[in-house]
Amino acid sequence: MDSVTEASAKLPPAPRSAETIRLIATDLDGTLLRDDKTVSGRTVAALAAAERAGIEVFFVTGRPARWMDVVSDHVHGHGLAICANGAAVVDLHHGRRVVEVSPLERPEALAVVHALRDAAPGTAFAVERTGSFNYEPEYPPLSFDRAAVVAPAEKLLAEAVPETGRYPSLPRATEDASPSPEDIGADQPVLKLLAYHPGLDPDDFLGLARAHAGRYASFTRSSPTALLEISGLGVSKAGTLARCCAQRGITPDQVVAVGDMPNDIEMLAWAGTSYAMANAHPDVLAATDFHTAANNEDGVAAVIERVLEQR
Nearest to 306 by CA among 12, 48, 58: 12
Q: Is 185 left (phi over 0), alpha (psi -120 to 50) or beta?
A: left
Averaged pLDDT for residues 27-33: 97
Strand 217-220 versus strand 190-196 pairing type: unpaired
Averaged pLDDT for residues 111-132: 96
pLDDT recorded at residue 145: 74
- What does each C-alpha distance from 150 to 166, 190, 196, 277 come to in angstroms? 15, 16, 15, 36
> Residues 192-225, buried b or exposed e (16+ Cβ, 10 A)?
bbbbbbeebebeebbebbeebbeebbbbbbbbee
Q: What value does the mean pLDDT of the chain take?
A: 88
Count the neighbouring beta carbons within 10 Å of the beta carbon of residue 249: 8
What are the counts of helices (DSSP H) followed by strands (DSSP E) for the chain?
10, 13
Nearest to 132 by CA among 79, 170, 78, 81: 170
Highest mean pLDDT among 143-157, 174-188, 232-246: 232-246
- What ranges do the domains of the chain cover? 3-102+236-310, 106-232
Q: DSSP string of 34-72?
A: -TTS---HHHHHHHHHHHHTT-EEEEE-SS-GGG-TTTG
Q: Which helix (H) or strand (E) holds 239?
A: helix 237-247
With 70 as the cut, is the pLDDT of residue 268 above it? Answer: yes
Report the CATH number of the 3-102+236-310 domain: 3.40.50.1000
Share of the chain above pLDDT 90, in %: 71
Report the CATH number of the 106-232 domain: 3.30.1240.10
pLDDT recorded at residue 167: 45
At 181, the pLDDT band (50, 70, 90 cuts) reads low
With 50 as the cut, is the pLDDT of residue 168 above it? Answer: no
Instruction: Order the strands of the 80-83 sheet from edge to edge.
Output: 97-101, 88-91, 80-83, 56-60, 23-26, 255-259, 273-277, 290-292
Nearest to 311 by CA among 5, 44, 49, 10: 49
Distance between first and last Cα of the chain: 24
At 180, the pLDDT band (50, 70, 90 cuts) reads low
